[in-house]
Structure 1
Amino acid sequence: MDYEKFKEKFTEDLKSNLEARGYDIASIEITPSQKLNQDAYDAISVKLEDSMMGASGNFSNLFAAFEKAGDYDLILDHATQLMDEAISHMPSYDMSQITDYDFIKDKLVLEAVNSEKNAALLEKVPHKDMEDIAIVYRVLLGQMDDGVASVVVSNEMLEKMNVTKEQLHKDALISSPEIRPVEVNTLYGTIAELLPDVDLGIPAGGPEDQILVGTVTDKHHGAGVIAYEGFLDEQARKMGEDFYIIPCSIHEVLLVPESMGGDIEALKEMIASVNTCELSPEDVLSNNLYHYDSKEKVFEIADTFKERIAAKERESDKEKESAVGKLKKTQDKVKEAPKKEHKPKIKDKPEMAL
Structure 2
Amino acid sequence: MFKFNEFCDYVEMTLPEVLPERLKGVHIEQHEVEKNNGLVLHSVTVRPEDSNIAPNLYMDKFFERYEEGASIDDLMDEIRDIVVKNLDVPKEFSNVAEEFNHFESIKDKIVMVAVNTERNANLLSQIPHKDREDLSLIYKVMVGKDEEGTATITIRNEHMALWGVDAEQIHELAMANTKEILPVTVRSMNEVMREIFAKDGMDEDMMNIMFEEMPANQQMYIISNKSNVNGAASMFYEDALSELCEKIGTDLYILPSSVHEVIAVSSELGTPDELSQMVREVNGSQVAPEEQLSDHVYKFEAATKKLSLADVSLEELKKAAGAENMSQDAPTEGSRPRKSR
TM-score, normalising length: structure 2: 0.81
Q: CA deviation at 1:275?
A: 1.6
Q: CA deviation at 1:137?
A: 1.0
User: SS of the residue aligned with 1:117?
Assistant: helix
User: SS of the residue aligned with 1:113?
Assistant: strand
Max Rg structure: 1
Structure 1 residues 18-52: Cα deviation after superposition (integer angstroms, max 9, x where no partner):
243x2254311101111224611211110011112
Aligned counterparts of 1:278 and 1:151: Cα–Cα separation in 2: 28
Structure 1: where are the runs of 5+ without partners?
309-354
Residue 217 of structure 2 contacts residue 248 of structure 2 at CA under 8 Å; is this kept in 1? no
Counterparts of 1:119-130 in structure 2, within 5 Å, are 119-130=121-132
One-letter amino acid of the counterpart of residue 40, structure 2: A
Residue 114 of structure 2 contacts residue 136 of structure 2 at CA under 8 Å; is this kept in 1? yes
* Number of equivalenced pairs: 306
One-letter amino acid of the counterpart of residue 17, structure 1: V
Identity %: 28
CA gap 1:168/1:229 in 2 versus in 1, 3 angstroms: farther
One-letter amino acid of the counterpart of residue 252, structure 1: E
State yes or no: 1:216 paired with 2:225.
Answer: yes
Structure 1 residues 318-353: Cα deviation after superposition (integer angstroms, max 9, x where no partner):
xxxxxxxxxxxxxxxxxxxxxxxxxxxxxxxxxxxx
Equivalent residue number for residue 264 of structure 1:
272
User: SS of the residue aligned with 2:186?
Assistant: strand
Q: CA RMSD in A?
A: 2.6
Aligned counterparts of 1:53 and 1:287: Cα–Cα separation in 2: 38
TM-score, normalising length: structure 1: 0.78
Equivalent residue number for residue 232 of structure 1:
241
Equivalent residue number for residue 301 of structure 1:
309
Aligned counterparts of 2:302 and 2:167: Cα–Cα separation in 1: 26
Q: CA deviation at 1:145?
A: 4.9
Structure 1 residues 71-97: Cα deviation after superposition (integer angstroms, max 9, x where no partner):
322221221112122222352233121
Aligned counterparts of 1:292 and 1:250: Cα–Cα separation in 2: 18
Equivalent residue number for residue 103 of structure 1:
105
One-letter amino acid of the counterpart of residue 43, structure 1: S
User: SS of the residue aligned with 1:215?
Assistant: strand
User: SS of the residue aligned with 1:189?
Assistant: helix
Structure 1 residues 102-155: Cα deviation after superposition (integer angstroms, max 9, x where no partner):
111111112112223322212111112222222111111112453222111111
Equivalent residue number for residue 244 of structure 1:
253
Aligned counterparts of 2:129 and 2:121: Cα–Cα separation in 1: 11
User: SS of the residue aligned with 2:13?
Assistant: helix
User: SS of the residue aligned with 2:9?
Assistant: helix
Equivalent residue number for residue 27 of structure 1:
27
Q: CA deviation at 1:208?
A: 7.4
Residue 115 of structure 2 contacts residue 135 of structure 2 at CA under 8 Å; is this kept in 1? yes
Residue 188 of structure 1 contacts residue 208 of structure 1 at CA under 8 Å; is this kept in 2? no
Q: CA deviation at 1:222?
A: 1.3
Residue 111 of structure 2 contacts residue 142 of structure 2 at CA under 8 Å; is this kept in 1? yes
What is the aligned counterpart of 1:278 among 283, 286, 301?
286
